[in-house]
């Protein structure tokens, strides 16, 4: 994926793949709420703002069908925690 792909509304395949890999890791946690909090925290801490905004823009435009359920639920319910500036 290039920066151009997300800037022109293209499908951010690598971002979707990486988000689902993160989701796979945290999906093993027994506490789903904590898992979602941890996914959001991981995205905020380790992804550049441009990556987070591209992921959210794609999610907003296309829905969560390409995402694992836990990732889709996290993008929906933890939006502010994901897009806020790194601390």
Instruction: Check residue 9 and give its pLDDT.
Output: 57
Q: For residue 59, give every residue at least 6 positions away whose Cβ sits within 8 Å of its Cβ, in sequence order, or none.
A: 67, 72, 75, 76
Instruction: Check residue 49 and give its pLDDT.
Output: 96
| CA distances for 6 relative to 32, 37, 42, 61, angstroms | 30, 25, 21, 12
CB atoms within 10 A of CB 48: 9
Cα of 11 vs its chain's centroid, Å:
14
Mean pLDDT, all residues of the chain: 89
Instruction: Check residue 11 and give its pLDDT.
Output: 78
pLDDT grade, residue 86 (50/70/90)?
low
13-17, 31-35, 57-61, 81-85: least confident range: 81-85
Quick check: 5 pLDDT over 80? no
């Amino acid at each position: 994926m290039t920066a151009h792909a997300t800037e022109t509304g293209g499908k951010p395949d690598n971002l979707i793949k990486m988000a689902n890999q993160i989701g796979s890791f945290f999906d093993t946690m027994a506490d789903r709420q904590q898992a979602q909090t941890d996914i959001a925290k991981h995205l905020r801490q380790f992804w550049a703002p441009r990556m987070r905004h591209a992921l959210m823009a794609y999610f907003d435009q296309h829905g969560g069908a390409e995402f694992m359920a836990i990732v889709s639920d996290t993008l929906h319910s933890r939006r502010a925690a994901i897009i806020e500036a790194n601390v």
